[in-house]
Amino acid sequence: MVDPRDGERRPRRPAMFSPGALDAQASGGVDPAEVSEIAHESAAVLVGTGRATEDPDVTRRLVRLVDELGMATVAQLWAAQPPVSLPGALWRLYAIHESVRRDAVGAAIDYDLGRHHADVQHAVAGAAEPPSPDALRELVDAILTGVFDGDLAVALERAAAFCRVTSIGRAHRADDHDGHDDPGASAATQSAAALLGTAHDLERAAASWRAGTLT
């Protein structure tokens, strides 16, 4: 865990996001231990940078990290790390954020279907009523912002709740497709199951952060 007392440091862009380091990782020029070290150190620097500053422009840049680096680069850096680790948790948060930005309409349909069957999780996620595409974009922005200027465990739990509600809605959508669009139903079912797995990973990461063991 990054010590919030590190707030005396001047916010900076994480040095580990250098193209050279990522190219070396992609080409096999870095051994697995070094890849893991890069992933963990870059995640710690990113979160530490965000939590050490009160500049909203810095926070906005961190929330929009994918715009600057590209999703492939973020995935290359963090996606292979264990789910209950800081880089693994960040990867899941940014992946959720990007998926909603790319298809806010579809996310809103699934979330709206799911919220009627998951009142508690809907309340934890904190989506506006009704959960319109714009409302869900604002929700995932707020969740990522909470990583840097709020309680990181709460941000992880809100993301997990969002995944659970969306998963329920997507499963219902799969049922609607069943019998007349079997490929669509199968894809929606698999996606719903994956979202449940992500929710579980995020909940475990939140517990680990509270215990001081998420690194």
Cβ(140)–Cβ(96) under 8 Å?
yes
- The pLDDT score that the predictor gives to residue 1 is 43
- The pLDDT score that the predictor gives to residue 8 is 37
Specify the DSSP class assigned to residue 11: P
* Interhelix angle 32-52/56-63, nearest 10 degrees: 150
- The pLDDT score that the predictor gives to residue 124 is 97
What is the per-residue pLDDT across 148-192, written as a single tens digit (0 to 9) for each? 999 999 999 999 999 999 999 999 887 766 656 677 778 888 999
Please name the residues in contact with 37: beta carbons below 8 A apart, sequence gap of 6 or more: none
Cβ atoms within 10 Å of 35's Cβ, excluding its own: 18
- The pLDDT score that the predictor gives to residue 36 is 93
The region, left, alpha or beta by phi > 0 then psi within -120 to 50, assigned to residue 82 is beta
- The pLDDT score that the predictor gives to residue 195 is 95
Provide the whole-model pTM: 0.84
- With a cut of 70, which residues of the chain have pLDDT below it? 1-30, 176-181
Work out the widest C-alpha separation in the chain, in whole angstroms.
Answer: 60
Task: Give the integer Cα–Cα distance in Å for 129 and 138.
Answer: 12
- The pLDDT score that the predictor gives to residue 17 is 39
